[in-house]
Amino acid sequence: MSTTLLFHPTPDATYGFPNARRLAHVASPHQQIEVWETPQLGRLFTLDGRPMTSVGDEYVYHECMTHPAALAHPCPRKALVLGGGDGGAARQLLKHACIERIVVAELDDEVIGMARRYLDDVHQGALDDPRVEVVIGDAAHFVTSTVEHFDLVVFDLTPPDSPAAGLYTREFYARLKRILTPRGAISMHLGSPLFHAARIAALLDDLRASFLVVDPLSAHVPLYGSQWLMAIASDTLDAAALFAHDVDERLAARRVQGLRYYDARLHASLFALPRALRDTLGVRR
């Protein structure tokens, strides 16, 4: 039986997808996990009723969350994905020939199981690639206990107003810096500037207090019903400073193929936020 699948980015805002059909539901010890089939975006994945990813537009989010940060680094070899149990971020990172190891630190093994069963168009086998290790457990514990160092860390977590709130803090960023290589960077999503402007401004303030270079970027993600902001933070790398020819050369050198959204022509525009938004968020360039 079909229904209208509704999402509520704030208590007074609603959008949705008519004629959705639920394919699977699991109540894990951590959260409610659902997979839906929709006419608009194909298979759609939710956690506790929040939209996480969909087959129809996942490439927009995952390409923007991974490639700008990866290309800012001269040769990233090891990456850590916090969350990311759908496998989309790992899949994009694996496109870089220099990547040797990816750790996906996912809280919930049921998320991995649902992704393997229903979201093969998102991960495309990345979760079972020999370069990828899936670690089930608390991401904060992994960051605190690991002895490894990573060139890239991708925050592919639920939003800051969820149980992952403790990972969006200056204290946690300080822990992350201890496991970043000297030229490392983190990439994270911030939310909708329409619905979450105050929260995003606070997140950017915390990032600026923790890293020397913070580059916000944005893309329109249909599943999220809005423009969606992300940020790349580092003490040494400046993704926004890359020229189109830099992007082209690095994509070619790393043999990155199969991109559907991100490329050299798009790169600079990702970081070109509207003036009103720059003023609201305190972005100075």
* Residue positions annotated with a catalytic role: 156
Q: With contact defined as beta carbons under 8 Å apart, do 158 and 201 qualify? A: no
As beta bridge partners, residue 85 has none
Q: What are phi and psi of 152, to 5 degrees?
A: -135, 140
Q: Is 161 labelled as part of a ligand binding site?
A: no
Q: Is 174 labelled as part of a ligand binding site?
A: no
Q: What are phi and psi of 72, to 5 degrees?
A: -65, -30
Contacts of 189 (CB under 8 A, 6+ apart): 61, 65, 155, 156, 159, 228, 229, 230
Burial track 218-238 (b if 16+ CB lie within 10 A, e otherwise): bbebbbbbbebbbbbbbeebe
Q: Is 106 labelled as part of a ligand binding site?
A: yes
Residue 198's Cα: distance from chain center in Å? 20
Q: Is 139 labelled as part of a ligand binding site?
A: yes
Q: With contact defined as beta carbons under 8 Å apart, do 51 and 38 qualify? A: no
Assign residue 150 a region: left if phi > 0, alpha if psi is -120 to 50, beta otherwise? Answer: beta
Q: Residue 276: count other Cβ atoms within 10 Å of its Cβ.
A: 9
Q: Is 31 labelled as part of a ligand binding site?
A: yes
Residue ranges at the known binding site: 31, 62, 86, 106, 138-139, 163
Residue ranges at the known binding site for S-methyl-5'-thioadenosine: 31, 106, 138-139, 163
Residue ranges at the known binding site for spermidine: 62, 86
